[in-house]
């Protein structure tokens, strides 16, 4: 397999790379256009056959392909199993909304954060995804959406919003995450606004402070799931390294620097973090921040053995926050009939094909 993947290169880098092979700028632009459509070298039909063959000998495309997909009969959500060129598998989820299509992408193969309710972490972390592989998830899902008529007009982008909430911790794959964000927003590339991208982190405080200085004003989503350290450390091992005081200082710095509203993700677990006292603690924790709390009904993950809070309990928790003047909504559960929780499809396939 060729060492260099062209999808890892920005357009200026690709122009420079191919100029070194004696190719003019317009040829690099043609190749880049095809890469963003998910094409292989043999599909780049406006290039001479001899050039396509030469590129295929020296380079690989990179990115991902759709290995399998499941579509929800309830809400149209599509669950992807993406195959990487080395045979590893990651998941993505395409969700249809009134405002467009949102794609949830993965940033790592597996995850090492160890959150008690998450299927992605059950096999640990295998490796980081490259920036080109993350970009490849967007390209592959866009091609799927366009081919199946999941866009309302010819001008509409197949993927309008991205959430980095799939398997992996984006800030644990820092360099590749930052490079991906710069590449995906490039107007000569996919041109997706950073304001339409959410990055979810479990709270790696030093990395978050560093990210604050990058000038990438995405929507920050903190996977909180508990309002105090003792409880949070039983759910999320990262809390033992970075207490909430340190994490919240980093969150406040990000909010002040970017003027972006921060989202706090809070998965409600029956008898664990859903009592009235937890709601009061949560309201106190986020007071004074430009923020929103997103309450998450758990998609069941049998291996984790943690039941989700029933609907009546979710509504009571929501009201308790609202009464304390906290902006709050309950995330609409999507894709439950296709194992929408991240990591479930990959895990099932891995265990079926050991």
Q: Supply the pTM of this predicted model.
A: 0.92
User: 269: which DSSP letter?
Assistant: B
- Report the catalytic residues: 91, 342
Long-range contacts of 63-66 (CB under 8 A, 24+ apart): 63/5, 63/7, 63/35, 63/38, 63/132, 63/133, 63/135, 63/136, 63/139, 63/140, 64/90, 64/133, 64/136, 64/137, 64/140, 65/140, 66/140, 66/141, 66/144
CA count, 13 A, side-chain hemisphere, 64:
33
The mean pLDDT value for 57-69 works out to 93
The pLDDT assigned to 1 comes to: 62
Higher pLDDT, 329 or 73: 329
The pLDDT of residue 299 is above 60: yes
- Residue 350's pLDDT is 55
List, in order of start, the domains of the chain with CATH numbers. 6-58 (1.10.150.530), 64-352 (3.20.20.70)
CB 6 within 8 Å of CB 35:
yes
pLDDT of residue 180: 98
Q: How large is the angle between the packed helices 205-212 and 244-258, nearest 10 degrees?
A: 10
- Tens of pLDDT, residue by residue over 152-202, are 555 567 899 999 999 999 999 999 999 999 999 999 999 999 999 999 999
Q: What is the pLDDT of residue 153?
A: 54
Reported as a single tens digit per residue, the pLDDT across 214-229 is 999 999 999 999 999 9
**pLDDT above 90 as % of the chain:** 77
Condensed to tens digits (0 to 9), the pLDDT of residues 265-293 reads 999 999 999 999 999 999 999 999 999 99
> Residue 169's pLDDT is what?
97
pLDDT over 60 at 5, yes or no: yes
């Amino acid at each position: 397999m060729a060492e260099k993947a062209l999808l890892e290169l920005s357009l200026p880098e690709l122009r420079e790379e191919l100029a070194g092979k004696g190719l003019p700028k317009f040829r690099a632009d043609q190749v880049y256009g095809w890469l963003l459509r998910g094409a292989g070298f043999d599909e780049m039909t406006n290039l001479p056959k001899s050039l396509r063959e030469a590129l295929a000998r020296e380079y690989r495309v990179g990115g991902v392909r759709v290995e399998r997909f499941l579509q929800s009969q309830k809400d149209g959500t599509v669950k992807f199993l993406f195959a990487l060129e080395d045979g590893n598998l990651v998941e993505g989820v395409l969700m249809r909304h009134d405002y467009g299509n949102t794609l949830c992408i993965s940033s790592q193969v597996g995850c090492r954060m160890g959150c008690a309710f998450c299927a992605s972490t059950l096999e640990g972390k295998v490796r980081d995804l490259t920036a080109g592989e993350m970009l490849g998830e967007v390209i592959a899902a866009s091609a799927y959406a366009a081919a199946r008529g999941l866009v309302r007009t010819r001008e509409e982008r197949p993927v309008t919003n991205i959430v980095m909430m799939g398997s992996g911790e984006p800030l644990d794959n820092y360099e590749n995450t930052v490079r991906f964000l710069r590449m995906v927003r490039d107007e000569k590339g996919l041109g997706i606004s950073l304001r339409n991208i959410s990055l979810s982190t479990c709270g790696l405080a030093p990395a978050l402070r560093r990210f604050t200085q990058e000038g990438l004003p995405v929507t920050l989503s903190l996977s909180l799931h508990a309002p105090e350290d003792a409880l949070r450390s039983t759910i999320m091992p990262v809390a033992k390294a970075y207490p909430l005081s340190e994490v919240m200082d980093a969150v406040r710095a990000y909010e002040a620097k970017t003027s972006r509203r921060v989202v706090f993700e809070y998965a409600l677990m029956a008898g664990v973090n859903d009592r009235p006292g937890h709601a009061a603690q949560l309201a106190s924790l986020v007071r004074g921040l430009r923020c929103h709390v997103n309450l998450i009904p758990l998609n069941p993950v049998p291996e984790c053995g943690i039941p989700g809070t029933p609907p009546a309990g979710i509504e009571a928790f929501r009201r308790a926050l609202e009464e304390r003047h906290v902006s709050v909504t309950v995330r609409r559960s999507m894709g439950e009939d296709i194992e929408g929780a991240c990591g479930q499809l990959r895990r099932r396939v891995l265990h079926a094909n050991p």
